[in-house]
Amino acid sequence: MPQIRHLARFTTPVDLKANDTKDTPIKTPTARQTFNDEVELILTQSTQPLSITEIAELASRKLSKAYDETTVRFAINELIAENRITYRVESKQERAVRSDNPTLATRSICAKLYWAPVQEVPARTVTEVVPGFRLFGENNQIHRKRYVGKRRMKELEHTGSTPVPSSSNAVVDYLIEKMVAERTADLQAQLDAANSKMAKLQELFKSAL
């Protein structure tokens, strides 16, 4: 004959939902937004096709970190390989629109314009897509310079090196200044040598008299 404690085992109501987790929502970790994703998003949100330099500037502003053209180009190449974005070479007319100067447009090489999603790249019709940033702007608000790490700046100060500006126009100016400085030093050396020879000739004339 079963005992009372054995009967209780069968008569006690069982909560079937206590261990039932099939209706419990599964929390999956959200995928981290990669730099490639950010670049694709920048192109998706843009109303105009963008150049590498403009993408680098927008990425730097959005992520508050300095991204140069080389880093962006790596991301662009991977996105193209994954068929996530598309591109084409700009026309001379588009180059003139971007430069806002037909004379400069004819002298420079046409760039590639990038677009997302993958479809026909529309025409570039606006000079300044990135606020305060133009192809040949003299007063460009280049935000990439603001995000250079303090450690990097200290290293440059310690070694006595001068950081090369990241924008194409600034690089050209930097190279011109460097060439002028080197040429000036060379001319100064030649002038010093000529003055030295002149001084020796004057001494010879004085001694001859």
Count of beta carbons in the 10 Å neighbourhood of residue 162: 10
* C-alpha closest to that of 38 among 82, 83, 76: 76
Tens digits of residue pLDDT in 49-98: 999 999 999 999 999 998 999 999 999 999 999 999 999 999 989 998 99
Domain ranges of the chain: 35-147, 167-208
86 dihedral zone (left: phi>0; alpha: psi -120 to 50; beta): beta
Span 35-147: which CATH code? 1.10.10.10
pLDDT single digits (tens) 157-209:
555 554 444 445 556 666 776 677 677 777 777 777 777 788 777 777 777 66
pTM: 0.56
